[in-house]
Amino acid sequence: AWLSGKPIVGVNHLEGHLASAWLNAENRKRWKFPLLALVVSRPVRRASTWFASAESAQTGYLADAITNNSAIKSFAGGAYERKRFAKVTQHTLRQLQAFAKVHKMQMNVLGTTSRVISAMSLTVAVISVMAFNADIGTVFLILSYTANIVEQLFQFGNNSLRNYNRAFGDAADMVAVLA
């Protein structure tokens, strides 16, 4: 932009993806504001896939150790199996920690969104009192309904993200097994 003398315009990459839906005229007719969109990032998918894979490996090693129980007892391989399982468990723990970091970022985004919605609700309540002489009952309804909606959205988002992350990670592992 600088070399060609054009102004620099800040663009939010993720908002661009969401706004691209309006390039379709049919979507512009059907969708009405306000809208809610779920953006799932590649690091989240990657972390959930790695964790699911590590967890599957851990389960496999444990199943091997259990089914080989008689051989382990016969040849005194218990220490070897414990060491092997401990190694796999450490790997699973590292993947879980990486996934927890990414999940924490998601929860921060949901929490920030909740706080923004709550602040907007408070603003609407104040404007209602100052501009329209709204009574305390109206203010209470605005704030309590918004708090309830925010809580429901947070729970929906949290549960949906958790289920999506888990399903995507497990699905990626199953595709690798079936391929």
Q: Tell me the per-residue pLDDT of 85-125, one tens digit each, with 9 for 90 and over.
A: 788 888 888 888 887 887 788 778 878 888 888 888 888 88
Question: Mean pLDDT throughout 20-29?
Answer: 79
Q: Higher confidence at residue 90 or residue 156?
A: 90
Q: What is the dihedral of CA 62, 63, 66, 67, to 10 degrees?
A: -150
pLDDT digits (tens, 9 = 90+) for 69-96: 666 666 666 677 778 878 888 888 888 8
| Residue 97: both structure tokens together | 């920690």
pTM of model > 0.95: no
Task: Give the burial class of 165: count Cβ atoms within 10 A of its Cβ; 0-12 exposed, 13-18 middle, 19 or more buried.
Answer: buried
Q: Is 177 or 130 the better-scoring residue by pLDDT?
A: 130
Coil, helix or strand at residue 34: coil
User: How far is C-alpha 135 from the geometric centre of its chain's CA atoms?
Assistant: 39
